A and B are shown apart, each in its own frame.
Chain A
């Protein structure tokens, strides 16, 4: 018995989302994290303190490391938010509110 019967996925057509202004290919149902990672983007946030790059870590919505700005809304978990056609995804710096508030 092979517990990992490979399944091939359906033929649904890919579409594009924007990441920092450039087009990234995504599959229907893919999370933003998965779409970014398949395009070779592994970091889409810089930390508040050290400005260090972060991307996906736990992949299941627990760690909050993959926070990203989607359609102007900061602090969205990229591993949970589905990629939708034409979404405007941007690298999040710090709290993501820096454009609105002066610290």
Chain B
């Protein structure tokens, strides 16, 4: 479709309507750029500001209790977004699952599958891209982790916050990382009994970094509030422990937890069985980098590499939030704000002045330091965790590939990297394209976890691939 307006406004496509994408869209739209905000959910907010099914009805409403994160910030973002939507400066293209970004002369084409069915594609054209695609949970396999009732920590949160479901009466929250605390507190707030919070890290790493925690009092208070809620609910907190098995026939009935020794191995005789009907488990988050990698953006570790303006090394492509490295909602807001301002300046032919976003840059620096320290304090999962994964444990959930098959590929067939393991066993070839099994397969195989290239970024019907739709510019 041709743009018939005489004065053409530059178009920035923002992928992801979570904290980073929203902050970026608002910053860019306020500075003379037209923003196409694409997101897979029906409503804006992302995973962090995930909106409940029926919408907030106020504290006295009749519905179930839903824990709402940072309500005031969300209300402010929502109000600003509504104003831009009404003025036509932002077009919110919801329920768009972006499967491919294509570079063309002077811009980009964004290909997205429509709605939950994802059988039909649509394409929009933009002058520049801003990727705020967030992250997903890293889960390590253990016997029984495929039982219904075992969910990721983020999944438990999504069910409680967005789905208005209490995922179980008695919960165990396990794994590692800062997400476990709010998830456990959220389950308790929604009415579950949280029997135990099982953290694989030990407490020593936290004590060593007391100085860093003191520089971020807001985060400290947030952590303390969650912990207080759990203590009031009589949750047992176990550090340097792991869930080593989940038990049940057709669904989860109990878990076994065990202590890890200093080298990460199991402490004999430390096993304890805990009765529960939901296990929320996760070992931190991994950035979604498929779209960026597809465009050829350089990665830094597992995240997209960006400069001080949040630009990737591909001209016209910015990235912000968890996709550039996991650091939480406040950091995502700061990064998104900077990315949006930088993109707007460059798209309107100006050289951006970083003094304009000095406050956001300061908070970005402080929060990056804080999360680097947090990551160091939590550390990696105990080195010897794969020893506790029995041969008959499924490690690739989609293709039902067992740990034994992966070990055979490495030991007998000589596979030395994840790609060869995949070719020999099909681990990572299923629907999720290895997003769920990659860390587990890497651990069991003894290979390094390397960012995978996944193109297209989602399963796409052959008909769509055969005849991709013509790009348009939405009004």
Contacts and interface: CB of A to CB of B under 8 A. Distances in A.
B400 A49 contact: yes
A21 interface: no
Given A4-B229, A12-B54, A30-B53, A42 B159 contact: no
A59 B222 contact: no
Interface in B220-239: 221-222, 225-226, 229
B31 interface: no
Nearest to A45: B148
Interface in A27-66: 27-31, 33-35, 37-38, 42-43, 47-50, 52-65
B63 interface: yes
Contact of A37 (B54, B71, B159, B436): B159
Contacts of A3: 69-70, 182, 222, 225-226
A52 B162 contact: no
Contacts of A34: 53, 159, 162-165
B269 interface: no
A97 B151 CA distance: 26
Given A9-B55, A65-B436, 12 more contacts: A4-B189, A6-B66, A7-B65, A9-B54, A29-B54, A34-B162, A42-B148, A43-B148, A47-B400, A49-B399, A54-B148, A60-B155
Contacts, number: 199
B349 to A, nearest CB: 38
A79 B162 CA distance: 10
Contacts of B116: 76-77, 80-82
Interface of B: 40, 42, 47, 52-71, 97, 116-117, 136-137, 146-152, 154-159, 162-167, 182, 185-186, 189, 221-222, 225-226, 229, 250-251, 397-400, 430-432, 435-436
Contacts of A30: 53, 163-165
Contacts of A27: 53-54, 63, 164
B154 A58 contact: yes
B59 A64 contact: no
Contact of A33 (B159, B221, B431): B159
Contacts of B148: 42-43, 53-56
Interface string A5-22: 111111110000000000
Nearest to B55: A10
A59 B20 CA distance: 21
A4 B185 CA distance: 8
A9 B251 contact: no
B57 A59 contact: no
Contacts of A85: none
Given A1-B222, A53-B251, A11 B146 contact: no
A50 B399 CA distance: 10
B57 A54 contact: no
- A5, A49, A53, A59: residue with the most chain B Cβ atoms closer than 10 Å: A59
A42 B168 CA distance: 10
A27 B223 CA distance: 32
Contacts of B250: 43, 53
Contacts of A61: 40, 97
A2 interface: yes
Given A34-B165, A77-B116, A7 B159 contact: no
Nearest to B189: A4
Given A6-B66, A6-B189, A58-B136, A63 B165 contact: no
A1 B221 contact: yes
A5 B70 CA distance: 8
A57 B151 contact: yes
A79 B158 contact: yes
Given A58-B152, A62-B435, A9 B56 contact: yes
A5 B71 contact: yes
A41 B55 CA distance: 24
A10 B137 CA distance: 30
B158 A9 contact: no
A2 B226 CA distance: 8
A92 B471 CA distance: 35
Contacts of A82: 42, 116
Nearest to B188: A4
B52 A60 contact: no
A45 B28 CA distance: 44
A66 B226 CA distance: 30
B149 to A, nearest CB: 6
Nearest to B156: A59
Nearest to B69: A3
A38 B167 CA distance: 8
A28 B157 CA distance: 19
B328 to A, nearest CB: 12
A42 B56 CA distance: 26
Contact of B164 (A38, A67, A73): A38
A9 to B, nearest CB: 3
A55 B148 CA distance: 5
8 contacts: A5-B68, A8-B59, A38-B164, A58-B155, A60-B47, A65-B436, A76-B116, A76-B117
B163 A37 contact: yes
Nearest to A8: B61
A94 B136 CA distance: 26
A67 B436 CA distance: 15
A19 to B, nearest CB: 14
